A and B are shown apart, each in its own frame.
Chain A
Amino acid sequence: KNQVEQSPQSLIILEGKNCTLQCNYTVSPFSNLRWYKQDTGRGPVSLTIMTFSENTKSNGRYTATLDADTKQSSLHITASQLSDSASYICVVSEGRGGSYIPTFGRGTSLIVHP
């Protein structure tokens, strides 16, 4: 059964600090891995996408890494801001019959305090 596990479940940091969120998956056959940011009461917004051959991707202060051998990904946030407070969701898609079926993690709830 495909699974995506994220840790920690929640995280509180001070503004300006860095943090790293983890994602482990057992999705097969692997197609791609995305990180989404979901603000409270809103739909998710895509931050990064990586395929099998990519091991790092940046989007501003967000940097995602992928180790396809160990099936792990991380999302590093640099110099956190109050607006980074949100849920961060790891999504791993399997390729199946020409389509891509996503499996979502439960998300890491990040709170940035001033």
Chain B
Amino acid sequence: DTAVSQTPKYLVTQMGNDKSIKCEQNLGHDTMYWYKQDSKKFLKIMFSYNNKELIINETVPNRFSPKSPDKAHLNLHINSLELGDSAVYFCASSQGERSARGAFFGQGTRLTVV
């Protein structure tokens, strides 16, 4: 009955590799997001999709490519991983961008690039 689920929870990989993080929500929301939380705990929005359409792309390198096959899924593919990509990545969803209930976040994927 998990609302927003991400896989994997932990990901350790070498520099230069390509990896994907999957996200699924079963809340029926129409908007999904990817956030990055760095080592200083700052959260920053990366992407926002509404009904499978990209609506926010906050100056994220082209190596990051989100894919939304349907409203319930928003996957994140990262090419040519760099050390600076190490962070916790959170997927989230909401009903519209101004939902009074806010966004529901997944548990996060801790990515470590070595």
Contacts and interface: CB of A to CB of B under 8 A. Distances in A.
A34 B45 CA distance: 15
Interface stretch (B61-69, B74-82, B104-112): B104-112
Interface residues of B, number: 24
Q: Describe B's contact surface by its main secondary structure.
A: loop
Contacts of A32: 98
B45 A106 contact: no
Count chain B CB atoms within 10 A of each CB in A34, A43, A49, A107 and give the residue with the most: A43
Q: Describe A's contact surface by its main secondary structure.
A: strand
Which size bracket describes the interface of A in this complex? 20 to 34
Given A43-B92, A99-B48, A106-B42, 9 more contacts: A34-B102, A36-B102, A41-B107, A41-B108, A43-B104, A44-B105, A101-B45, A101-B56, A104-B43
